[in-house]
Amino acid sequence: MPNFNVPDDVFEAAASQYPTPFYLYDEADIRETVRLLYQAFAWARGFKEYFAVKALPNPEILKVLLSEGCGLDCSSETELLMGRRLGIRGEDIMFSANAMPPHEFALARSLNAYINLDDPSDIMTLHDNGGIPETISLRVNPGPEVMGDNQFMGNPRESKFGWMPKDLPEGLMKLKNLGARRFGLHAMLASNSLDANYYPVQADYLFGLGLELQEQTGLELAFINLSGGIGIPYHPGEEAVDILAVGQAVKEAYLRRFGENGTVEIKTELGRFVTGPHGFLVTRAVHLKDGHKVFIGLDAAAANLMRPAMYGAYHHATVVGKEHLPHTLIADLTGALCENNDKFAVDRALPPIELGDLVILHDAGAHGWAMGYQYNGRLRSAEVLRQPDGGFRLIRRAETPEDYFASLDVGGV
């Protein structure tokens, strides 16, 4: 894997141009990662990565990905509308959600998107809201009888997603009677998995299931969607997934199942893997507290990056210009929210920190800004793109109190 490294002077230059906190994304590194993914699946017919919009829903980033040949994986009306505003439709959109409101099906149909059904009851909802397309995708939940407590995600019985395998033949026959001719299969059995076997195991399961269903229903198996879930090394000691080796292992399973002349296409919906390592939350130390413990208050809060508070997730933190110093300070990095889980790090070994130091939270390029919220009236951050020529471009301004108050404008009163 290439060594992606954004040097400290880049953060300094960006922070001299934009007030902290803000997200900084590196366009060249995003492009390089998505090219590596396409290289890994260069053998596969009709390969397409549908970037999971929910991971980083900024149209400027999506444009970068679209220019690399990606489509978009949309899961809500707003995400579909974002795709529409970017001028994409048809096979460039995968619409996949759970408990979908009927009008969202109708919107997806009007864009002629691929639609991925989550449940048998979705068939008639789709039929009545835009109609059954010629190619339809189904999301499968293999259940404990297939993989037991699968090694990647825990008990599939607890997962709210996907069809039970036993319902698939009948569902597909029904879809056939309503006009479907080709089908895709989708499963997402992991989240943030660093296990190189995740995609190959999932692929082999879906390949086998797809062949069986093709045989049983006479519908043509059009594509297998391996979905998202490949992880990134959040901890300094972890190794990135070797995506080229993963692509090779999926190819071996493909050849075993379909042979050299297989026509089934491969799709993916990676989010985190593509942009996660290439985004940073750039913050400043604004408060130092030497209490029962040492607390370093940053000008960002969990409202800007929720993963540590929500999942106890680790994000590596560095202090600009000080990483060469001994990390003898043991401190919590906190935000200003009135909740004690508003901490980016607990008991972290850090170099000495002074007021005004830039503190960088790494690997925040996916499910970072996107999960931001407004608790305590702390508003969402700006987003800045570092372009391949080294220049910076503001791709989203920071929210202001006016944005917060805008939804109160309901007329009258």
Ligand X SMILES: *Cc1c(COP(=O)(O)O)cnc(C)c1O
Site string for ligand X, 305-344 (x = CB under 6 A): ----------------------------------------
Under rule CB under 6 A, which residues in 172-231 are in contact with ligand X?
188, 191-192, 227-229
The residue among 55 and 382 lying less far from ligand X, judged by its C-beta, is 55
The answer to whether 243 contacts ligand X (rule: CB under 6 A) is no
The residue among 210 and 335 lying less far from ligand X, judged by its C-beta, is 210
The answer to whether 267 contacts ligand X (rule: CB under 6 A) is no
Least distance CB 171 / ligand X (angstroms):
18
The answer to whether 119 contacts ligand X (rule: CB under 6 A) is no
The residue among 96 and 304 lying less far from ligand X, judged by its C-beta, is 96
The answer to whether 270 contacts ligand X (rule: CB under 6 A) is yes
Least distance CB 368 / ligand X (angstroms):
11
Q: What is the SS3 string spanning the chain?
A: CCCCCCCHHHHHHHHHHCCCCEEEEEHHHHHHHHHHHHHHCCCCCCCEEEEEHHHCCCHHHHHHHHHCCCEEEECCHHHHHHHHHCCCCHHHEEEECCCCCHHHHHHHHHCCCEEEECCCCHHHHHHHCCCCCCEEEEEECCCHHHHCCECCCECHHHCCCCECHHHHHHHHHHHHHCCCCEEEEECCCCCCECCCCHHHHHHHHHHHHHHHHHHHHCCEEEEEECCCCECCCCCCCCCCCCHHHHHHHHHHHHHHHHCCCCCCEEEECCCHHHHHHHEEEEEEEEEEEECCCEEEEECCCCCCCCHHHHHCCCCCEEECCCCCCCCCEEEEEECCCCCCCCEEEEEEEECCCCCCCEEEECCCCCCCHHHCCCHHHCCCCEEEEECCCCCEEEEECCCCHHHHHHCCCCCCC
- Give the total of residues touching ligand X (CB under 6 A): 17
Choices 6-14, 50-58, 82-90, 202-210; region in contact with ligand X by CB under 6 A: 50-58
The residue among 18 and 50 lying less far from ligand X, judged by its C-beta, is 50
Which residues lie near ligand X (CB under 6 A)?
52, 54-55, 73, 96, 188, 191-192, 227-229, 269-273, 366
